[in-house]
Amino acid sequence: MKIIVDENIEFGAEAFQQFGEVKLSHGRKITNEMLEDVEVLIVRSITDVNEELLRNTPVKFVGTATIGTDHLDKDFLKSNNIYYSSAPGCNSFAVTEYVFTSVAQIAHENNFDLSEKTFGVIGYGNIGKKITKFAEAVGLKTFVNDPPLQRDGFNYNFCSLEEALNCDLISFHVPLNKTGVDKTFHLLNEQRISELKPGTILINTSRGGVIDNIALLNRLQNKNDLTVVLDVWEHEPRINSELLKKVSIGSPHIAGYSYEGKVNGTTMIYNSLCEFLNEAKIWKPTLKPVDSNKIIPDKSQSITELLYQITKKIYNISEDSYSLKSLSDLKENELGKHFDQLRKNYKLRREFNNYLVQSENLTSEQRTILQSLRFNIR
């Protein structure tokens, strides 16, 4: 059996060699011709898996080591009896921690207390639930919008989209649906962008097309009264360089790129392929140890400053933003190439639960909050 695996999938060759010959490829360079004798295709979100890619190939299993599936033509796969699998929730903690690292930095830079702010969470799936839990732990008053779950009778006090968009901070965690009653393409359209109150902090780690990037750029150019964090962009990797210059934090679609998140994605697709082929689950990943995982916080910090102090030691999000924003004067094609290179060569980032926070300078309340954010306390 021949298998093609995106070269940026963690443990890609090691995990899937059990099933046959593994070839690694750049996700954007996988072609129909490459698949003429391939039965298993393992990708990420940058590979569009559709009729054009799979026509007249023997591919019978498609796995995407991502939480989203909008890059898969599911109707085509189903009609051609091609099994597909994704990795829902694999990097949900990674994205949650990215969001709160950015929130902590913005709060620090603008000298405000999180407990005084409202937080709109749009989408209450694997990530949205974790985002809401973290937000409530640090004192943010949350407003959650999720029409599909609300229609299904999910037991939660959901709010309208308008209420969520009226919050001080807004974070998107929805799939990209281009049509239908739950269409999310340009969910934040020109009209809604124009209605955002001045000072709003806007965060998107879902899909670039959820926000009308041109309309957002126009708001920032004309008023410059929003604080924007974008990890996802329309037309990746050829992103809008002018918008990149205007955002407060901009990164190359790496919010979910924790080491654990990547390994989780590989493991979930590996397990799915084992079940599809009725093979034993033999492979288990061995994670790298964490260096310097002890953190000693200063005394008498507010939880907002404490969160900034700790997250800064774990993950300097400013470096990611600087790496991308420093390329904003490049031509579109060159910027696109570097965007992909930043993703491919992304540094090792570990999740909060790998770190031990010394408790002698913490109050009981602070210890409880940090434990809610998955830190270990001693």
List the catalytic residues. 207, 236, 253
CA separation for the pair 240, 189 (Å, rounded):
17
CA separation for the pair 128, 124 (Å, rounded):
4
Neighbours of 53 (CB within 10 A): 20
CA separation for the pair 136, 141 (Å, rounded):
6
CA angle, 202 as apex, 199 and 206 as ends, to 5°? 175
Amino acid present at 309: Q
Helices marked H in the chain: 12-16, 51-54, 74-79, 92-110, 126-137, 147-151, 161-165, 190-195, 213-222, 241-246, 259-277, 303-314, 317-325, 332-344, 364-372
CA separation for the pair 232, 236 (Å, rounded):
8
Q: Taking a C-beta distance cutoff of 8 angstroms, is the pair 224, 199 a contact? A: no
Q: Count Cα neighbours of 81 within 13 Å in the Cβ-side half-sphere.
A: 2
Neighbours of 189 (CB within 10 A): 13
